[in-house]
């Protein structure tokens, strides 16, 4: 570990923890707020589902880039994936602030499958925040060995979240009002 990297890591650690705690709390609070007299933003669910799909593709391309030792391309793609996730979250919250929840109307075996995917998606979405931030901080701190250690867990979980986001949308979209 180099001194500069240690300072960067130390500098960002409080931010990693603050954001990892604050983001889920703010999202929950915003979910309880409904903006009055605003037409539901019904164009958002297919838009943020598309963003999830693009995020999954970007993550795959970033993985391929790093396997080919294309570090600058990998870094750029990861910044794009993080940015897409932030845009997704903003749209997701905006939609839920203008719309009532859509109940899942599927029956039979699809119902427990839907809820398993939805619940695992939500729980992992909360847990991925510190993982992505720590992975990113380790990369910008040039702690590449430590970066790789956590990235091998961050990548598949983030992929699962991006892909299941699309699946959840596809499963619930027939029940939107």
Give 16-39 pLDDT, tens digit per residue: 999 999 999 999 999 899 998 899
12 pLDDT tier (thresholds 50, 70, 90): confident
Tell me what the mean pLDDT of segment 55-71 comes to: 97
Tell me what the mean pLDDT of segment 60-80 comes to: 97
More confident residue, 163 or 12: 163
Least confident of 7-11, 29-33, 52-56: 7-11
Tell me what the mean pLDDT of segment 5-26 comes to: 86
Tell me what the mean pLDDT of segment 47-55 comes to: 97
CB contact at 8 A, 81 and 71: no
What CATH number is associated with residue 130? 1.20.120.80
CB contact at 8 A, 91 and 51: yes
In a domain, 27, yes or no: no
Q: First-to-last CA distance in the chain?
A: 55
Q: Residue 4 pLDDT more than 80?
A: no
Whole-model pTM? Answer: 0.91
Contacts 24+ apart (CB under 8 A), 118-123: 118/164, 118/168, 120/160, 120/164, 121/160, 121/161, 121/164, 121/165, 121/168
Phi and psi dihedrals of 120, rounded to 5? -65, -40
In a domain, 35, yes or no: no
- Tally of domains in the chain: 1
**Residue pLDDT, tens place only, 136-147:** 999 988 888 889
Domain that holds residue 114: 42-175
In a domain, 81, yes or no: yes
Q: How many CB atoms sit inside 10 A of residue 156's CB?
A: 12
In a domain, 46, yes or no: yes
Angle formed by the axes of helices 3-31 and 71-98, nearest 10°:
20
């Amino acid at each position: 570990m180099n001194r500069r990297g240690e300072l960067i890591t130390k500098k960002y650690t409080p931010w990693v923890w603050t954001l990892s705690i604050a983001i889920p709390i703010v999202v929950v609070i915003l979910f309880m707020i409904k903006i009055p007299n605003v037409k539901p933003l019904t164009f958002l669910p297919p838009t943020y589902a598309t963003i999830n799909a693009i995020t999954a593709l970007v993550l795959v391309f970033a993985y391929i880039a790093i396997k080919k030792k294309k570090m600058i391309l990998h870094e750029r793609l990861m910044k794009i994936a993080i940015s897409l996730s932030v845009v997704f979250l903003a749209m997701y919250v905006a939609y839920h602030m203008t719309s009532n929840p859509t109940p899942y109307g599927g029956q039979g075996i699809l119902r427990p499958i839907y809820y398993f995917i939805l619940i695992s998606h939500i729980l992992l979405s909360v847990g991925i925040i510190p993982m992505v931030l720590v992975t990113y901080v380790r990369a910008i701190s040039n702690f590449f060995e430590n970066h790789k250690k956590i990235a091998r867990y961050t990548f598949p979980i983030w992929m699962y979240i991006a892909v299941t986001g699309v699946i959840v949308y596809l499963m619930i979209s027939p029940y939107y009002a």
